[in-house]
Amino acid sequence: MYIELKAGQMIGPGRIGRVSFSKTGQTIYYRGKTFKKRKAAGASKANYYDVETGEEYWISGCRRDGAHRLYGGRPIEIDEDVRREYATDIRGMTVFVNQKKV
């Protein structure tokens, strides 16, 4: 999944990583964090929030064309454990297999 910290800004740090879901799909777990689905997106375009800190996040599936960010900008970190799967299965490329950022 693509995970971008919004924290009151339109463009925040983003990363691609493996998440798990609750049975209802309303909660996402990633790297020790728990994210709950927001009722409505605000001006920051956040759709989840961190239950511990309240920080807002945009979390979505990865896009085949690589245009994960709504507003462009910074490079995106890719977790080591999903790098190969992201490059080959999602992007259909081998060029990203060893890159930490795209």
pLDDT digits (tens, 9 = 90+) for 39-63: 875 656 889 999 999 999 999 998 8
- For residue 51, the Cα-to-chain-centroid distance in whole angstroms is 16
Which helix (H) or strand (E) is 83 found in, with range? helix 83-85
Q: Exposed, middle or buried by CB within 10 Å (0-12, 13-18, 19+), for 42?
A: exposed
Report the pLDDT value the prediction gives residue 86, as an integer from 0 to 100.
87
Tell me the pLDDT band of 20, cut-offs 50, 70 and 90.
very high
What are the phi and psi torsion angles at 34 (to 5°)?
-120, 125
Residues listed for the chain: 102
Residues of the chain above pLDDT 70, percent: 87
The pLDDT of residue 9: 74
pLDDT of residue 13: 87
Q: Are 14 and 3 in contact (CB under 8 A)?
A: yes
Task: For residues 1 and 16, give the distance between their C-alpha atoms in angstroms, rounded to a whole number.
Answer: 6
Q: Where are the domains of the chain?
A: 2-90
Q: Are 81 and 19 in contact (CB under 8 A)?
A: no
Letter for the amino acid at 36?
Answer: K
pLDDT at 94 over 90: no
